[in-house]
Amino acid sequence: MSSLVRRLPLPVPLFALFLGAASVLGFAPFHVYPLPLVTLALLINLWRRAGPRRAALLGFSWGLGFFLAGVSWVYVSMHEFGGMDAPLAALATLLFCAYLALYPALAGWLFARFKSGAVGRDALFAAGAWTLTEWLRGWLMTGFPWLSLGYSQAPGSPLAGYASGFGVYGVSFVAILIAASIAALLIPPPSSSRNWRQLLAVVLLLSCGRLLYLMDWTHPVGAPLTVSLLQGDVAQSMKWDPERLQQSLATYARLAREHPAELTVLPETALPVFFDELPAGYLRLLTQNGPVLAGVVVRTRSGGYTNAAVGLEAGAPLGAYAKSHLVPFGEYVPAGFSWFLALMHIPMTDFTAGPADQPPLSLAGQRVMPNICYEDLFGDEIIRAVPGATLLINLSNTAWFGHSLAQPQQLEIAQLRALETGRFMLRATNTGMTAAIRPDGVVAAVLPAFAVDALTVKVQGYAGMTPYARWGNALIVVIALACLLPALARRRASPLPR
């Protein structure tokens, strides 16, 4: 490995940046899931040869390349649809990605500071450090767990089976263990005993993941039902235009009429008007074929408004879910950042958050638990409704992302939510990707993006609890901490190396 580094045609931090950017190919829509294991193996071996500060720089470089390549759609949202000037949007995107890169930088610093030189102990420490920093990224400052490593191991990868037991962070943990084992194979001088042990570890981890994937943690409940997921394909620039309102309402009424089902689902804010301002008779028209779950803005008793999913039947509301995890800068402005909002032109940026614990809605004989937009990134929040919910439905307006990687990436995220809960996850989106995902995380059907259409599928309600639904992220966080504590204890009195 050291000779390889010496022969690199570019500086090592730039090589780490390249490794990070290449890792994005492991995620949707590319699905080259072994690639992040290899790029991270190379990063871990760079960390082995570095001191803490150098390792932090390499982790930051890897993270900067990774996030610039993977969440470039942030620029699209701010510039093309938020109205921010291109240079400012580019700078804001760079700063955001630099912030996200601090987490792999922290993992690198910890690894270099506390590495022991023993391959097995260092592999466990690397897995623990990476997992904890990913978990922190998904929690601090309201959290942004997009592109957690575990998402790259969606069904198709043998590691997907770990999701039902340990969640996406558990998949990340095992993926880093495998990457560290691969890294050990590259350490000179070659060692037949070490190589045998690392190869065995990889085979065992892959085999256990496959066996876990074959286990059924949940069971069908109730009769199957047909669901029609509507996709109106309304451009974000036109969505809140009053002159476009009647066309939007007519589009969804037509799709609901032409694609009858036992339950019809409209995307987030599909009806771009306050719920109490909908034209008289429209709800009866929309529900003429049966119950409907519709995304619409609802006024609160205090005079505010919520981003809601309203259950309807025979023209009347049956209940509603109010989005509880709001998007910073998109749905509310964090304290001290009103100046940032002045640079953008986003309608309705002062939503009221719904309560954290809300009951499922009774629709079409099922207990339906909606989640809205990027709420499906937070597995520990989705499982709050389990075991009461039999069906999960995500309503999203993905027009904000344009033609970018965000749509397939969010579909991949939903695959992990289905695995974690052992339930169908249905997605009704404005521009894509509208889809039905089975409890095993496999996409059963999906609509083409940017098409006006409906996806009618037969789905089944499920009951029961996966281990992850019982324990949430607590289990893998404890495991990750347990991997760090012995090294921390050994080195707590040692001087900080330079």
Do the beta carbons of residue 297 and residue 273 sit within 8 Å? yes
Going by their DSSP bridges, the two strands 316-322 and 361-363 should be labelled as unpaired
Single out the catalytic residue among 239, 373, 412, 420.
Answer: 373
In the annotation, is 239 catalytic? no
**Residue showing tokens 């036109």:** 238
CA distances from 481 to 82, 388, 485, 487 (A): 40, 31, 6, 11
Q: Which residue is catalytic, options 80, 134, 268, 375?
A: 268
262 is catalytic: no
Q: Packing angle between helix 12-23 and helix 35-48, nearest 10 degrees? A: 160
Q: Collect all residues with Cβ–Cβ distance below 8 Å to 271 and sequence separation of at least 6.
A: 248, 249, 252, 278, 294, 295, 296
User: One-letter amino acid identity for 20?
Assistant: G
Residue 273: closest CA among 240, 300, 237, 306? 240
**Residue of 80, 134, 323, 375 marked active site:** 323
Inter-residue contact 143 to 165 (CB < 8 Å): no
- Residue 323 appears among annotated catalytic residues: yes
The residues assigned a catalytic role are: 268, 323, 373
